Amino acid sequence: MFVLVNLKAYPCDPIEIAEAVRDVSDASGVDIAVAPQTAHLSQVAETGVETWGQHVSPVEHGSHTGSTLAEAVADAGATGTMLNHSENRLKLADIDAGLEAAERTGLGTTVCANNPEQVGAVAALGPDAVAVEPPELIGTGTPVSKADPDIVTDAVAAAEEVDEDVSVFCGAGISTGEDLVSARELGAEGVLLASGVAKADDPTAALEDLVSPL
Ligand code: G3P
Complex ipTM value: 0.98
Residue 85 CA: nearest ligand 1 atom is 1
CA of 195 to the centre of ligand 1 (A): 6
Tell if the pTM clears 0.80, that is, is over it: yes
Annotated catalytic residue 103: no
User: What pLDDT does residue 46 have?
Assistant: 98
Q: Is the CB of 196 under 6 A from ligand 1?
A: yes
Which CATH number is 2-211 given? Answer: 3.20.20.70
* pLDDT for res 119: 98
Binding site residues, as ranges?
A: 6-8, 138, 173, 194-195
How many angstroms is it from 172 CA to the middle of ligand 1? 5
Which stretches of the chain drop beneath a pLDDT of 50?
none
pLDDT tens-digit profile of 156-212?
A: 999 999 999 999 999 999 999 999 999 999 999 999 999 999 999 999 999 999 999
Give the up-direction half-sphere exposure of residue 195: CA atoms within 13 A in the CB hemisphere.
Answer: 11
At 99 the three-state DSSP class reads helix
Q: What is the pLDDT of residue 48?
A: 98
Is 133 one of the catalytic residues? yes
> Is the shortest distance between the CB of 130 and ligand 1 below 6 Å?
no
| pLDDT confidence of residue 10 | 98
pLDDT of residue 63: 98
